[in-house]
Amino acid sequence: MSTIVILTGAGISAESGIETFRAETGLWAQHRVEDVATPEGFAKDPKLVVDFYNGRRIQVAGAEPNAAHKALARLEAEHTGEVLVVTQNVDDLHERGGTRNLIHMHGALNSALCAGCDHRWPIAGDMQVGQQCPACSAPTARPDVVWFGEMPYEMDRIFDVLGRADFFAAIGTSGNVYPAAGFVAEATRAGADTVEINMAPTIVGSEFTSSIMGPATQTVPAWVDKILKSN
């Protein structure tokens, strides 16, 4: 029974209408990373940061999982071994598409985090600056999103599964951000077959055993069919 680890990035949600980060008109062309995705940016202008994630939360609420998200859920349901999806995305389209064994390594838009006591709780609508933590009552709520300079979530669990992976796929991620961009090297060390699935080759593309290029809504269902047939 084989173990499959799948890393996803913004490209898997692009065809659901959610913009990626590094496209010409993507999020990082519209906003400065230092302003909206660092602890220093939040300390300097919390309203700008809270408003940015409130806007993204509204956008995601109006989006639907696409054929690629659903294909990964089908893989998890039908594969005889373990399937773990590790996403860098803060949207909830994997969950809504049916994936259960999922790690949000960069956090989630539908969650708040207390900067004081680390309590996390679900949120649906807008967050406010200085919102109270329901556990410790301090006015220290922040978006539960991992910013640059912070440690991504569940790294021990991710590296544990990567260390015994038979297949590793990276879908719709540009390979610019570590530690996620280093997962292919870890999977390779574990002896896994690795595939990059993207619109175009990325800067870490040469580290993969093979590649599949095209829009995720087409390539991912086809790749899942192939894996399930070889089960």
**Any idea which residues carry the catalytic annotation?**
106
Site string for ligand OAD, 3-32 (x = CB under 6 A): ------xxx--xx----xxx---x------
Q: Does 41 bind ligand OAD (CB under 6 A)?
A: no
Nearer to ligand OAD, 22 or 74 (CB): 22
Give the CA distances from residue 191 to residues 144, 175, 185, in Å, rounded to whole numbers and listed in that order: 34, 20, 10
Sign of CA dihedral 130, 93, 95, 12: negative
- Contact assessment for residue 44 and residue 32, using Cβ atoms and an 8 Å cutoff: no
Footprint (CB under 6 A) of ligand OAD, residues 159-178:
172-174, 176-177
Nearer to ligand OAD, 57 or 106 (CB): 106
Rg for the chain, CA atoms, rounded: 18
Footprint (CB under 6 A) of ligand OAD, residues 49-68:
none
Q: Which of 90, 30, 104 minimizes the C-alpha distance to 57? A: 90
Q: Does 146 bind ligand OAD (CB under 6 A)?
A: yes
- Shortest gap between Cβ of 80 and ligand OAD (angstroms)? 27
Amino acid identity, residue 207?
E
The per-residue b/e assignment along 173-188, b for 16 or more CB within 10 angstroms, e otherwise, is bbbebeebbebbebbb
Q: Does 106 bind ligand OAD (CB under 6 A)?
A: yes
Binding site for ligand OAD (CB under 6 A): 9-11, 14-15, 20-22, 26, 37, 88, 106, 146, 148, 172-174, 176-177, 198-200, 202, 215-216
